[in-house]
Amino acid sequence: MSTLHTRFVSVSNQSLGREASMNEHLEVRGTEVEIEMLRQMLDQLKRDDELTQFRAPIPYKSADHDKATDQFNDDLLKLYQFIYNLGTEKTRAHISDMNILHKLQNTDYEDPGYER
């Protein structure tokens, strides 16, 4: 049986630590392999975030159908799902209360121009 390690995740800072931060933390417990996968997912989200910044200054371009934004949203959804799977009861309850997994899958845009 593998040893479970406790870590604290900050999605907004894309960081993983051994201690909870003052502002934000989601507690997870995982094997060394799972913790490393989580670290890699956070690193990927950081790279995705950097790519979305390049298109932000373009005022006429919709972010809803931008490949970089779509990738960021997909990776964010995967990250929250992974955190949920490794999370403590409190972490799972927090993510459930956020309803983030459902929100990222359904943008709820019905206006013209948002069709795929």
- Residues 39-85 have pLDDT tens digits of 999 999 998 888 776 665 556 555 556 677 788 888 999 999 999 99
The per-residue b/e assignment along 2-18, b for 16 or more CB within 10 angstroms, e otherwise, is eeeeebbbbbeebbbee
Closest C-alpha to 26, from 44, 38, 43, 40: 38
Burial class (CB in 10 A: 0-12, 13-18, 19+), 68: middle
pTM: 0.78
> 111 pLDDT exceeds 90?
no
> 112 pLDDT exceeds 80?
no
Q: Domain coordinates of the chain in residue numbers?
A: 5-105
Q: What is the pLDDT of residues 18-28, one digit of tens each?
A: 998 887 789 99
More confident residue, 102 or 86: 86
Q: What is the pLDDT of residue 56?
A: 56
| SS3 of residue 49 by DSSP | helix
Share of the chain above pLDDT 90, in %: 47
More confident residue, 53 or 96: 96
